[in-house]
Amino acid sequence: MNFEEALKTIQKLEIKPKTEVTFICDALHKALAQDLIADHDFPNFFMAENNGYIFKHVQKNKSYKIIDILKPGYLSQKLPAENECVRICAGAMIPNEDLIFIKDEDIIAISDKSIKTKTTINKSVKNFKRAEFIKENELIINKGTYINPKEMSLLSTFGCYEPAIFSAPFVSIFISGSELIEPPFKLVAPLKRNSNGSLINSLVRLIGANSDYNGIVKDDVDLIIESINSSIENSELIIFSGGSADSESDATLLALKEINAEMIIDSLNLKPGGSTKLFLYKEKPILLLPGSPISAFAAFHLIAKPLIHKLMGSDYRHRFIKSISAKDFTIQKNRKINFVPAKIVNGEIEYIKKPSNSDLRIFQNIDCFIKLDIGKDSILSGEIIDVLLV
């Protein structure tokens, strides 16, 4: 299946996440279930944008007595007369819109109590546009927006301290493979330690979803079916890593066929992660990620991440940046969309050559993937490239 078609399939899933009202501190990495509307003009008063002085009238090189200092959060009880001024700090309220404001850079200090001006300004504060002016009832954040720290600031600014959010989905995680053991156990050949469990579990939590790591499931059809049925009712998503490659030993695929799960995303034109598949069972998605750690890592960012955001009520889009290749490199003839592991070196992107049969060196260094479209198998040093940060 085409990668873009797979993303469209995810977006078309009929999912209605639950909503809840939460305290603002618990809204981080959730999706907003309401529009955020400005509850006041911002700023709602004439505010000094810089440190400076306010005057009734201004003449160049004339001496003015400083009668008060006005700080943010305080109101001035003194208004300047003809030969007077008030020192005002950035962020403080200008008490009268007919006053004249002059920045520090246009002032000459005479003493602690008097100044001169370098300029003559006749415009009062009301004739200047207010910085960052937002009107009451203006739309600030759309429903469905994923809440990052900058959205937290906007929620606070406009008094939304108990926002409605979409509830975090519950994701059950299984790692399939009879050749695997968990990290605490002694390693004996030909067994391998399970690295994908902690990898996928942490990636799910990093998005903001709830995870339930269920450990390793042996390559046994009945055990896999039992695992699915025990988790399906309490999960919005089940993720399996391993058993997605259509080989005779892939018991996960056989188990899904036996329970008549509907396949909606088949093998993709991607590398790595091409064996990724998505099924529906009892109206719940079951995602099969590859067993190779770097393939699972890539497939999670490319497929699992938009799927989990969909379950969270958030409309996720991959964010690619343009950058420069640090070196020449060539890959095998490319018949798929290739996401090449890479690292950032002095502001440029450097391809990471994969050692045979090992993902460990890649995980030591990977910052991003270089996207190579079908048929593109080489990059020159200095060439502009598409980069997916991870």
Q: What is the DSSP string of 225-294?
A: HHHHHHHGGG-SEEEEES--S--TT-HHHHHHHHTTPEEEE-S-SEESSTT-EEEEETTEEEEEE-SSHH
320-389 architecture in CATH?
Answer: Beta Barrel (2.40)
What is the pLDDT of the chain when averaged over all its residues?
Answer: 92
Q: Does domain 52-127 have CATH number 2.170.190.11?
A: yes
Digit-coded pLDDT (tens) for 163-199: 999 999 999 999 999 999 999 999 999 999 999 999 9
Average pLDDT (97-120) is 91
Tell whether the model's pLDDT for residue 356 goes beyond 60.
no
Task: Look at residue 87 in the predicted model and tell me its pLDDT.
Answer: 95
d(CA 374, CA 94): 61
- Which one of 3.10.110.10, 3.40.50.10140, 3.50.50.60, 3.40.980.10 gives the CATH number of domain 170-311? 3.40.980.10
Encoded tokens for 206: 């990093």
pLDDT for the residue numbered 35: 98
Distance CA 313, CA 166 (A): 6
Helix (H, G, I), strand (E, B) or coil at 202: helix
Residue 377 has pLDDT above 70, yes or no: yes
Compute the distance between CA of residue 297 and CA of residue 199 in angstroms, rounded to an integer.
8
**Spatial contact of 276 and 299, defined as CB atoms under 8 Å apart:** yes
The pLDDT, as a whole number, for residue 336 is 92
Please tell me the pTM assigned to this model.
0.88
Q: What percentage of residues in the chain have a pLDDT greater than 70?
A: 95
What is the distance in angstroms between the CA of the first residue and the CA of the last residue of the chain? Answer: 24
Domain 20-40+142-164 classified CATH 3.40.50.1370?
no
Residue that is written with structure tokens 């990290």 in the block: 183
Quick one: average pLDDT of 18-32?
A: 97
Give the model's pLDDT for residue 360: 74
For position 122, what pLDDT does the model report?
67
pLDDT number for residue 161: 96
Do residues 359 and 293 make contact, with C-beta atoms less than 8 angstroms apart? yes
CB 289 within 8 A of CB 241: yes
The answer on pLDDT for 379 being more than 90 is: yes
Kindly list the domain boundaries of the chain, sorted by start residue. Answer: 20-40+142-164, 52-127, 170-311, 320-389
**20-40+142-164 and 170-311: identical CATH topology:** no
136, pLDDT greater than 60: yes
